[in-house]
Structure 1
Amino acid sequence: MGLPAEPILARLQPVNQSAIINIFVSAIRFATSSPPQQMNDLKSSAQEQLEYMLTEDDDAPLLTADDNIKHEVKECVNRLFSRFNDSLIALYCGSTTESLFEAGNIMLFQSYLADLSWVCQILTKLEIMREFVEYWFDASEKIVKVLEQGNSTTEVLEIKLRAIEVTSKVLEAIGYGTVVLPTAKRLKVLKVWLPFVRVTKPLIDSVTMDCVNAMLLKIDGELWQSLESTFVSIILALPSGDQADVLTEWLDNEYMQYPDLTEAFEVWCYRSKVAKRRLSLPGDEHVMTMNMS
């Protein structure tokens, strides 16, 4: 093809791996930062490209993450969560509910939650969700406390939905064994988020009857279905007594339509019956029969 084609062919050569790593590191730092609002479109673009770099489709991922890359990602997430936590503490310690949900606070909090939701996708691809799960666990009670102080305006419900989106990713990691937590922590995170989700979903459903607000809240039906399945998985992995406590509270609750824990209830009944039969002492059935006669 000759000399004229050399510049074109040069552009088709594979990119140097070190250049890819440098691009990734710079992009992850920007994508997890808090730039001025007018740069949000650039930040969203960076987040999309980072996700694409790690996606395995018809081609192999552009970047294979090593320990150095994972360390850099963790550091960026640490800084993001630190800023989120500072904002959360400021809202948690606010003296009035009006100050908690001023326009500026709403926008900032929503921005953090959107970034954290995106970060979960990156951490899942890199298989390093554990620290994030621990962060979210530690912050959960404060997050719910802050969100429960807001009224039911569309803006506040949108923030609640974003918090539920992040929570669903955290609970999925716990429920399906990606991140293993002690029983006490699994029970606690369940007791924090289950009542919040149970009460929030009907509020969101009622608002989305309005076509305009439905577009603002951007409901994803798969989110609720996945979250419900995750709740069931976490409950079924608890000790039988803890399962019974959770199911008793569910059966007595006016919001028992969501999440529907019927599957967990059925499995608990079956397991309990089998356990009673297998763990009974050899003479128990005979004594029971004699007492009945």
Structure 2
Amino acid sequence: MDISLIIALLALGAAVGFAAGLLGIGGGMLLVPFMTMLLTAKHFPREHIVHMAIATSLATIMFTSISSVRAHHARGAVLWRVVRLLAPGILIGSWIGPWIGAQLNATALAMSFAIFVAFSATQMLLDKKPAPGRDFPGPGGMLAAGGGIGTLAGLVGAGGGFVSVPFMTWCNVKIHNAVATSAALGFPIALAGTLSNIYFGMKTPGLPEGALGFIYLPALLVISIASVMTAPLGAKVAHQLPVASLKKVFALLLYSLAGYMLFKAFR
């Protein structure tokens, strides 16, 4: 890996870590489009670029989520009861998501990423107020919700915050608690999704040197080192921003990245 790519990945990792702490999105929504750009510029096999960007993004979340959630937990913002209820479904869904992704070509995968992200951004930007009495569903509903969150997150290489944050705010959870809890959910999503991407990627021919399944190990190492250092800073800033501003940042970031991946799908 040349020095220019290392520098670019360090900068990307720093931004990803900050975003993970700030928005509870695991950094994946930011990492996948920019990793796609970098791997394209370095002439990686075109048919594997999006798959590798998504898989590597998911793997980095194992490290950024731990760093981010420690900062949020110190402020008492993580709803651990919600984490326990969603985690079983998330583990199942996060294994299934990469399997679905392995069946799709690069164009279909990029389009899926763009559609899911744009939908999530719209839900957040509309800022619809939930019914005052609405609460979380029962155990079966939480299992299903976790399965849906995990499947989508595993498919597009994100920490699940683009689904779990809107879901929790819809259930009358305050945005800061939703972001913090989403950061905690990032670890089971990343763990199951990473193992799934290794398993299904090992069967794929033509992957470049340094790849373990669909995961590009050199990028994982560099990005993780930088992101772990900046995630606590993002978490600190998150607790200083007003709710309305945090929602706008979340939505606008997702829109811009969805636009790039849609462009990539048809290019």
TM-score higher than 0.5: no
Greater relative contact order (Cα 8 A, min sep 6): structure 1 or 2? 2
Point out the structure with max Rg over C-alpha: 1
